[in-house]
């Protein structure tokens, strides 16, 4: 176990070996332990299995200024380095992850059966959303890989990124950028539940987004987002299908409670809307507020 003491750590770090089931490598510390990076594009990079990050703060804001150079790009970046072998057994628990130029947390390249829970994630996407850098990158949690990015940025090959079976629960996510959780084409069976999501600013997306198939969004609260509460649908007519959206509460969403651009979808019902807009519901008719 590695224990961080209170203080500020201007260091980047990468994993160098796997932990074991039941005996993970644990990096822990209080919220007053701030890991701020040393200038690499990724403050923490996880390349190995069975790691636990617990309790401390990853803060990408550096210096007194407020410009692009004041923010690290990616804060926690998870990617396997061996062809066909992604990261599994990662747990990100009770963390504070904030102030990213791009996405705050990224799970990429066949990352499966990992957990992100009981954490606060905020102020993501500063480059594009605060300094108008021209894109829409700024997810709280980004799972998978967009088709046009497969094989890039350190991925071992160009295969479809099946980042499956990850669990995201009981987090407070206020991106002030883009989606609280964004799941890309090819990634399936991820469960997103019991989260509070707010601050999303892209009208063409949503608080949560699934471009993959068979993902579940349940028992979340989505509020003060510019896009939909949940957006569904991927690049092709085979992407973004059979997703479940139920038991969620929506407050002050900008576009629609659930906007589906592809179909069919799965269990989409039993949600509650409070002062939400229904200006655009998407190409596929759904009844997300009907009883299940």
Alpha-carbon distances of 19 from 49, 90, 143, rounded to whole Å: 6, 10, 22
Q: Each residue of 193-227: pLDDT tens digit?
A: 999 999 999 999 999 999 999 999 999 999 999 99
Quick one: pLDDT at residue 152?
75
Mean pLDDT score across all residues of the chain: 95
> Residue 153 above 70 pLDDT?
yes
pLDDT at residue 281 in the model: 73
Q: Delineate the domains of the chain, giving CATH numbers in brackets.
A: 2-201 (2.160.20.10), 203-214+222-292 (no CATH)
Beta bridge partners of 249: 221, 272
Q: How far apart are CA 172 and CA 140, in angstroms?
A: 10
Cα dihedral: 260, 264, 268, 269 (round 10)? 110
**pTM confidence score:** 0.96
How far apart are alpha carbons 284 and 162 in whole angstroms? Answer: 25
In this predicted structure, the answer to whether residue 169 has a pLDDT above a threshold of 70 is yes
Distance CA 79, CA 124 (A): 19
């Amino acid at each position: 176990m590695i224990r961080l003491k209170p203080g500020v750590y201007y260091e980047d770090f990468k994993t160098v070996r796997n932990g074991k089931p039941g005996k993970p490598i644990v990096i822990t510390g209080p919220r007053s332990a701030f890991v701020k990076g040393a200038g690499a594009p990724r403050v923490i990079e996880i390349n190995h299995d069975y790691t636990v990050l617990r309790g401390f703060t990853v803060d990408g804001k550096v210096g007194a200024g407020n410009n692009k150079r004041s923010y690290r790009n990616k804060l926690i970046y998870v990617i396997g380095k061996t062809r066909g072998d992604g990261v599994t057994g990662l747990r990100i628990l009770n963390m504070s992850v904030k102030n990213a130029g791009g996405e705050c947390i990224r799970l990429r390249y066949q990352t499966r059966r990992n957990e992100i829970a009981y954490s606060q994630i905020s102020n993501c996407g500063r480059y594009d959303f605060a300094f108008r850098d021209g894109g829409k990158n700024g997810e709280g949690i980004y799972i998978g890989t967009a088709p046009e990015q497969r094989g890039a940025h350190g991925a071992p090959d160009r295969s479809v990124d099946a980042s499956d079976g990850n669990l995201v629960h009981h987090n407070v996510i206020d991106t002030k950028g883009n989606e609280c959780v964004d799941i890309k084409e090819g990634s399936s069976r991820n469960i997103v539940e019991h989260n509070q999501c707010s601050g999303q600013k892209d009208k063409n997306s949503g608080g949560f987004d699934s471009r993959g198939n068979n993902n579940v969004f349940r028992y979340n609260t989505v509020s003060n987002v510019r896009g939909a509460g949940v957006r569904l649908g991927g690049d092709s007519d085979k992407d973004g299908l059979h997703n479940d959206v139920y038991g969620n509460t929506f407050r002050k969403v900008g576009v629609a409670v659930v906007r589906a651009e592809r179909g069919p979808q799965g269990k989409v019902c039993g949600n509650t809307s409070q002062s939400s807009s229904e200006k655009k519901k998407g190409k596929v008719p759904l009844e997300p507020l009907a009883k299940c």
